[in-house]
Amino acid sequence: MSPTLAGPRLAELLSAVAHAHDFTAAARFLLAQLADEIRAPSGCVLMLNARTRAFDAVACLGDDDRLPASIPLTTDTDAVVASAMTLAALSGTGRRLSAVAPESLSVIPFAQPQAARWPSFLPSAVAAALHARVGADGTILPPLDADQIGVSPCGVFVFGVACDVPTLRMLRDAARHAGPILSSMAADEGYHRSTEQLDHQSQLLTSIVNSLPDPIVIINAAHEIMVQNSRAEHLLSFGEDDSEGRRRAVEINNLLFTSHLSKAVIAGTGAPGPRELNMVDPDEGTDLLFEVLTQPLDGADAGATVSVLRDVTDLRRAAGELERQVQRVRLAEFDAKRERDRLNLILANVADPILVTDDRSNIILMNRQADQLFGDVPGGQEQGHRTRAIRSNDTRFTTFISDFTISPDVARREQMQLLVPDEHNSALPVEVVSGKILDKRGEAIAIVSVLHDLTKQVENERLYEELKKFSVELEARVRAATADLGEQNVRLQWQSRELEKANRLKSEFLASMSHELRTPINALIGYTALMLDRIYGEITEKQEEGLSRIQAAAHHLLALINDILDLAKIEAGRMPLHLDEVGLQDIVREINVQIEPLVKKKGLAYRWSVPQGWLSMYTDRTKVKQILLNLLSNAVKFTQTGGVTFTATVESEMVRIEVADTGIGIRSEDLVSVWEDFRQVDQSRTREFGGTGLGLSITKKLVGALGGRVEAASKYGVGSTFTLYLPLRVTAGADGQATGASDPTASASEEARPH
């Protein structure tokens, strides 16, 4: 077979292909001409689809059912795919060349101008493998060095016949010239289809946008309108034939819309979201309210946005009317609820049962008290005694209401006997007061009844009769008892006077005997001191020890006698106040001189604090000193470790003095008894701490005489705090006591200490 398709004949063939009306016709025409040239019984044109990465059949002739409609690009071991992807023409027989092609075939590849994002040629190793596979069964024409420069794979011609080398070379040259033409026609046809599809979509989109009832406007970054639907044109555009009023309305709308866009940009609210815009209806001149929804256009010019103007005029008008209706309904509900709550409050807080019945004598409303008499049994259970009582009450009350309903009276009052629905069904006398509620026509629409409980009234009447019965008997008994009580009262008065006299004589005796009691003790203490000072000569160690014990016992006895005598003077009223201007700092310094040796002897810490400067007090210096000395000595006495703290501050017209220690403390149940005369917390004979138990009692009485008060707080085992309040200015009355002074009580916290 000699090659005849060359020169002018090939140019004529390519010209005819280029003038075909579409790509499919051109591919089919060229395929037929090449098949006739080599007398092939069948043939097919396969084009590479970059999207599906497969070779699709675009034109076939003869027995074309032996080739599939598509061959994947991944089967690069197939001769058809390898030929197209290496530009190597081949011809031969045998299934080893291609599993999808006829046994005898010729594959002629053709290329297209190089395209971006297009599959590239296979490496030369694949072409060498193809040559080795075809060598035994056919012929292969490797591509020239310049064949793969500036081109990309495009497709193949597959013929169902084997060709010799000259014919194969002729077909390859023809395909090399026809490839750009076919690829260009295929691309043009694809562009044409895309253009038609875009035009159809554009028309469809325009129809959809114009059919929307809401105005739609697309603007660029310069706020110029690029696209708008018919509804937007109606608001923002006018024609030459439009009236002057419509033109002005459109101009106003454009100004309002432009101002809206400018405000959004200035305020930095370019983010998507609804904004309200007022415009004018160009036809009717009425106000329109739009809700503007603005969204940026993706893929369009930078800054381009689409705005949808949703007409909410009627919606806003309806919403306003609905809001007004809701407000009126809410006000009505509020008034009704307020009246209902007021009625319920009245019913709930009235102690008497209240019932409301309709014109048929049916109970329609009752409070809790009435429900206990006329209500159903809880849970619907039949409880014999309770059910009988409720039915009896209902029958009696209904009979009364029925008679009252048919009577012309507007109000009625009547007594009746009801039953209490309990285990005993006890009788309940009541008075029923009923009144009719009339409508505009004067007809009764409801009856309100109030049941007043007469139980107490009936009981009072019964008791009154009984009291009258026993009155005479009681008067006789009273007369007899009165005579006996008179005699006993005379005896008690005489005993009371005798006791007061004895107590007064005892206190006066002790107060008058203070000098006689103290003189022997002071003499004993004085002579003992002289003997200890060796005034009467030397003494032995045993004698010195004995004299020291005598002296200590004498001092202790003198302190006991002083406490008893002081208490007697206070009770006898023979301890008057000696008021004078004194300084609190001077009193504290004198007390410290007496307390510090005791503190040092027990190894305790002693801290004291008084206000800066001179704190003047008009009071009894001796008694204040005795009070403070009693509290401090008590604190040192009952403290073994730690220390004692003395703090004085001024509060208003009072001096607040606090004595705190870390001693043994007082139990909470003993806080009251520690202030009693001759009282100690530990009353046993083996107690650790001695004393008469008069220190706190005398302190309390002295504080009361000065018009102050004293308090105690303690935690057992931790320590105690005694707080003293003394007035800055004490005014003595005629009896020598401070005016306004009250008997102080020792108030304490839950935790306390033993003195």
Q: What is the pLDDT of residues 43-97, one digit of tens each?
A: 889 888 888 888 888 888 876 545 566 788 776 667 788 888 888 888 887 555 5
Highest mean pLDDT among 73-77, 171-175, 473-477, 543-547: 171-175
> Distance between CA 405 and CA 361 in Å, rounded?
8
Residue 554 class from Cβ within 10 Å (0-12 exposed, 13-18 middle, 19+ buried)? buried
Average pLDDT value over all residues in the chain: 80
Place 183 in a pLDDT band, splitting at 50, 70 and 90.
Answer: confident
> Distance between CA 64 and CA 159 in Å, rounded?
10
pLDDT at 559: 67
> Distance between CA 726 and CA 617 in Å, rounded?
9
The pLDDT tens digits of the residues spanning 188-203 come to 888 888 888 888 888 8
> Distance between CA 307 and CA 295 in Å, rounded?
7
> Distance between CA 209 and CA 615 in Å, rounded?
97
The pLDDT tens digits of the residues spanning 520-546 come to 877 888 878 888 888 888 888 888 888
pLDDT at 746: 39
pLDDT at 727: 92
> Distance between CA 697 and CA 716 in Å, rounded?
21
pLDDT at 301: 65
Highest mean pLDDT among 45-54, 109-118, 680-689: 45-54
What is the enclosing helix (H) or strand (E) of 751? none
Give 97-102 contacts, CB < 8 A, sequence gap 24+.
97/133, 97/134, 97/137, 97/138, 100/67, 100/68, 100/71, 101/66, 101/67, 101/158, 102/42, 102/66, 102/67, 102/160
Residue 748 has pLDDT above 50, yes or no: no
Q: Quick one: average pLDDT of 393-407?
A: 88
Place of tokens 């029925």: 402
> Distance between CA 534 and CA 551 in Å, rounded?
15
> Distance between CA 750 and CA 114 in Å, rounded?
103
Q: HSE on the CB side for 60, CA within 13 Å? A: 13
What is the Rg, in whole angstroms, of the alpha carbon atoms belonging to the chain? 63
pLDDT at 572: 58
> Distance between CA 353 and CA 449 in Å, rounded?
8
* 201: CB partners within 8 A, 6+ apart: none
The pLDDT tens digits of the residues spanning 656-680 come to 999 999 988 888 877 777 777 666 6
Place of tokens 């739609």: 216
pLDDT at 68: 62
Over the range 190-211, which residues count as b (16 or more CB within 10 Å of their CB) and which as e? eeeeeeeeeeeeeeeeeeebee
pLDDT at 489: 87
Q: Where are the alpha helices (DSSP H) in 215-312?
A: 230-236, 244-266
pLDDT at 744: 38
Which DSSP letter does residue 656 get?
E
3-state secondary structure of 627: helix
What is the share, in percent, of the chain residues with pLDDT greater than 70? 82
Over the range 640-678, which residues count as b (16 or more CB within 10 Å of their CB) and which as e? eeebbbbebeeeeebbebbbbbbbbbbeeebbeebbebe
Q: Quick one: average pLDDT of 192-220?
A: 84
Place 278 in a pLDDT band, splitting at 50, 70 and 90.
Answer: confident
pLDDT at 496: 82
pLDDT at 568: 64
pLDDT at 749: 35
> Distance between CA 495 and CA 250 in Å, rounded?
119
pLDDT at 290: 86
pLDDT at 249: 87
The pLDDT tens digits of the residues spanning 119-156 come to 777 776 766 776 666 655 677 887 765 566 778 888 89
Residue 645 has pLDDT above 90, yes or no: yes
Q: Quick one: average pLDDT of 494-517?
A: 72
Which DSSP letter does residue 214 get?
S
Residue 751 has pLDDT above 60, yes or no: no
- What angle (nearest 5°) sits at the alpha carbon of residue 506, between those of residues 503 and 512? 140
Residue 499 has pLDDT above 50, yes or no: yes
Q: Quick one: average pLDDT of 153-167?
A: 87
**How many C-beta atoms surround the C-beta of residue 744 within 10 A?**
22
| pTM summary value | 0.37
Place of tokens 């470790």: 641
Least confident among 396-400, 413-417, 473-477: 473-477
Structural domains of the chain, ranges and CATH numbers in brackets: 8-194 (3.30.450.40), 212-311 (3.30.450.20), 350-453 (3.30.450.20), 576-727 (3.30.565.10)
Place 644 in a pLDDT band, splitting at 50, 70 and 90.
Answer: very high
Q: Quick one: average pLDDT of 687-707?
A: 72
> Distance between CA 579 and CA 587 in Å, rounded?
14
Least confident among 14-28, 503-517, 588-602: 503-517
Residue 646 has pLDDT above 90, yes or no: yes
Q: Quick one: average pLDDT of 90-108?
A: 69
Place 686 in a pLDDT band, splitting at 50, 70 and 90.
Answer: very low
- What angle (nearest 5°) sits at the alpha carbon of residue 120, between those of residues 118 and 125? 165
